[in-house]
Structure 1
Amino acid sequence: MKIRMPLIKTVGVCVALAFSSAAFAEEPIIVKFSHVVAENTPKGQGALKFKELAEAALPGKVDVQVFPNSQLFGDGKEMEALLLGDVQIIAPSLAKFDRYTKKLQIFDLPFMFDDVAALDRFQASPDGQELLNAMKSKGIQGLAYWHNGMKQMSSNQDSLVRPEDIKGLKFRIQSSDVLEAQFRQLGANPQKLSFAEVYQALQTGVVDGAENPWSNIYSQKFHEVQKTIAVTNHGALDYMVITNSGWWDGLPEDVRAGLKKAMAGATEYANQLAAEINDRDRQRIADAGKAKIQTLTKRDIAAWREAVRPVWTQFADEIGKDLIAKARASNEE
């Protein structure tokens, strides 16, 4: 009898611990995906698709929570939040990474890629994929590239065909050393403004022009306050979907594999949607008849590329001459 009672207690404790461990093991991993745009954008829809695919692939193991429209953190705070572990996934514009690595400035270099197909080939190449790891020493792991569309130049001038047509004009840019150098090289005056300020700045003449994909031009009604939009396709307005590298590496292997697969599916979905929306919105702009769309010849594009080539040289040491050469090679199928 003296032996049996402690045994019962010990067994009870073991059973309780077993139940407690099982309950703990069943708790899903919370994955907060925070972004700053609306749900009806390619990025917003891509985030929702990732949630759908991840939770289907890992039932009960992950709980993906999507927060659009800066509900958790705005542009200026989301990176800090990721590094602190307050969110697990964000998708900033590629132009916002130059403080972490200069290599990603490759995507800001003007007239580097002929079209989205060339951009895709480079991003899918070993060099493009390696760039996803370029910020790992800073605690940032890239997961995928998401498109928002190739940029077009717009202005309040009647013609926007040759590089000399923008000389002396004020152009709104994102905060990027490369984009600033691009317009200075062309003889224009770059003005850093937040995206929310662009419409009024164009309307009132604070700036004369801007660079945006068709979806941004249409959704923000920029075509209503610009005379001309030139089909330059001179740069990519892309995002990198990123996570905290310490959190990512610490995930169970099966969960990480499931999230990778879900991200691949969401990336394909978001990028296809971006292409469809840009094609649709270009047509909507044409149908509206407010801004003239100018299609440039190969000769025109060659003139633009030659005019901005010194910018490539200016940033070659920071980005890497070999990387620039491989990016240019992606234009050849």
Structure 2
Amino acid sequence: METKGILSTGKKLVIGTVAAAMMATSAVAAEYTLKFSHVVSANTPKGKAADFFEKRLEELSGGRIDVQVYPSSQLYNDNAVVKALRLNSVQMAAPAFSKFGKIVPQLALFDLPFIFKDIDHLHRVQDGEVGTKLKDMVTAKGIIALDFWDNGFKQFTSSQKPILMPKDAEGQKFRIMSSKVLEAQMKAVGGNPQMMPFSEVYSGLQQGVIDAAENPISNIYTKKFHEVQKYLTISNHGYLGYLVVMSKKFWNSLPDDLKADVKQAMKEATAKERELAQALDKEQFEEIKKYAKDTGKLEIFTLNDQQREAWREAESKIYPEFYNKRKIGKDLIEGALNTK
């Protein structure tokens, strides 16, 4: 026997059935399960964008794809996730560019200093011909490259002196990630590059093992580097980002209509991630400025056009070192510089 339900809505009576309501709200049984593994917390731009992607793809696919997001290295860290993708043990991830260094060294394009005029130029490069070429290189290695997500532009900090002109870097010990580009970047201006695990940077700065570092605002703020440095320069000289990738086996298992849904959900999630990353960068920079004002222990500078041009001229001299296609490639470097 059918059970009737009556809901009063002012002058109207809406009469429905429990059975109908259950049918309307019951989810379609998922045909595919997509596990999305990442290493940051859920409340970061990458974490929020992953959750947005989950909801959007489930909506677009009508529940045919069940997306399960695993933040904070619950499944894999970035060093292990590429292998897991190849095995289809996980279907999606968003590792930092550096994790692709051995399979697609050309992604070191994003390490090149002062190659991007601003965030809009960067996104035009990523969304244009150069970005497509880089994604195709990754896909050719058996991992489907979907899109680029932002961490942010890097800024200089120092305990020795404000870093405003290239000569200010001379003799300073700079912590860098393991990268031939970053090594060349610091040597070009007389700096002393020091490769050091990220987990050791705070103590290294605090104890004077290193004098200076380069990090996006999010790293500076969350790891409190601004509390153990005297000077911060907004230089926007380099970029850190992520590449969202998918298991080739999983991708090939999807029919064309669901592949289209994945692409659409990813396009929307990328726009959301970029928006969130810029908003967080601004918010955390305001907190750093407040610390500087309240304590008087930090001075903040921003490169002006003349200073930026002096840096660009000094650093662009290293570009030819990476014209070899096995490093980055002249076509990609010039393509990025000439992107309008």
TM-score range, shorter-chain basis? 0.7 to 0.9
- 2:324 paired with 1:328: no
**Where does 1:106-125 land on structure 2 (aligned, <5 Å)?**
106-125=109-128
Root-mean-square deviation (Å): 1.6
Q: For residues 27 and 297 of structure 1, what CA distance do their matches in structure 2 show?
A: 54
- Match of residue 87 from structure 2: 84
Q: For residues 38 and 110 of structure 1, what CA distance do their matches in structure 2 show?
A: 28
- Match of residue 283 from structure 2: 280
Task: For residue 157 of structure 1, report the CA deviation from its aligned partner.
Answer: 1.8
User: Which amino acid is 1:56 matched to?
Assistant: E
- 2:312 paired with 1:309: no
Task: For residue 113 of structure 1, report the CA deviation from its aligned partner.
Answer: 0.3
Could you tell me which of 274, 295, 303 is aligned with 1:296?
Answer: 303
**Where does 1:141-180 land on structure 2 (aligned, <5 Å)?**
141-180=144-183
**Where does 1:1-333 land on structure 2 (aligned, <5 Å)?**
26-289=29-292, 290-318=297-325, 319-330=328-339, 332=340
Q: For residues 78 and 291 of structure 1, what CA distance do their matches in structure 2 show?
A: 38
Q: For residues 291 and 128 of structure 2, what CA distance do their matches in structure 1 show?
A: 39
Gaps of 5+ in 2: 1-27
User: Which amino acid is 2:118 matched to?
Assistant: D
Q: 3-state SS of the aligned residue for 1:36?
A: coil
Q: For residues 174 and 67 of structure 1, what CA distance do their matches in structure 2 show?
A: 26
Q: For residues 63 and 195 of structure 1, what CA distance do their matches in structure 2 show?
A: 35
- Match of residue 11 from structure 1: none
Report Cα offsets for 1:134-180 as digits up to 9, x if no partner.
12232112101101111111111232111111222222222222112
Contact 2:79 2:99 in 1 (8 A): no
- What TM-score comes out, normalization by structure 2 length? 0.86
- What TM-score comes out, normalization by structure 1 length? 0.88
Report Cα offsets for 1:176-229 as digits up to 9, x if no partner.
221122112222222222322222221122221111111221111111111111
Tell me the percent identity: 44
Bigger shift: residues 232-241 or 213-222? 213-222
User: Which amino acid is 1:195 matched to?
Assistant: F
Q: 3-state SS of the aligned residue for 1:135?
A: helix
- Match of residue 17 from structure 1: none
Over 3 Å counting, the alpha-carbon distance change for 1:54 and 1:327 in structure 2 is same
- Match of residue 12 from structure 2: none
Task: For residue 110 of structure 1, report the CA deviation from its aligned partner.
Answer: 0.6
Q: For residues 130 and 185 of structure 1, what CA distance do their matches in structure 2 show?
A: 28
Report Cα offsets for 1:60-87 as digits up to 9, x if no partner.
3111111111111113211111112111
Q: For residues 241 and 201 of structure 1, what CA distance do their matches in structure 2 show?
A: 32
Q: For residues 193 and 47 of structure 2, what CA distance do their matches in structure 1 show?
A: 29
Task: For residue 26 of structure 1, report the CA deviation from its aligned partner.
Answer: 4.5
Q: 3-state SS of the aligned residue for 1:138?
A: coil
Gaps of 5+ in 1: 1-24
Decide which structure has greater strand share.
Answer: 2
